Amino acid sequence: MRKANKANISTDYNLTGLICITGEMGVGVCDNTSAMISVAKESDLYVHVDATTAGSAMMC
């Protein structure tokens, strides 16, 4: 993630935020949200944690 973010900085594209997935019902995929938030803090990026599919189950 850090490597991709640094490579992006050297282009004309402006990364504004990251979207993390926590709990996808079909296969149970979860992003490493703590690592993504760490990268976002380093680059002053917005973070959205998407838990609409199985987020309520993740809280139990």
| Count, residues in the chain | 60
Task: Please count the structural domains in the chain.
Answer: 1
Does 20 reside within a domain?
A: yes
- How crowded is residue 21: how many other Cβ atoms within 10 Å of its Cβ? 18
Does 58 reside within a domain?
A: no
pLDDT of residue 30: 81
pLDDT of residue 25: 65
Given a cut of 60, whether residue 3 has pLDDT beyond it is yes
- pLDDT for 18-42, tens place per residue? 888 876 666 767 888 888 889 889 8
Does 42 reside within a domain?
A: yes
Cβ atoms of 36 and 18 within 8 Å: the answer is: yes
Whole-Å CA distances, 44 to 34, 35, 38, 51, 53: 15, 14, 10, 22, 27
Q: Report residue 17: phi and psi, to 5°.
A: -170, 175
* Between residues 55 and 34, the one the model is more confident about: 34
Does 9 reside within a domain?
A: yes
Which residue range(s) make up the domain with 17?
2-53
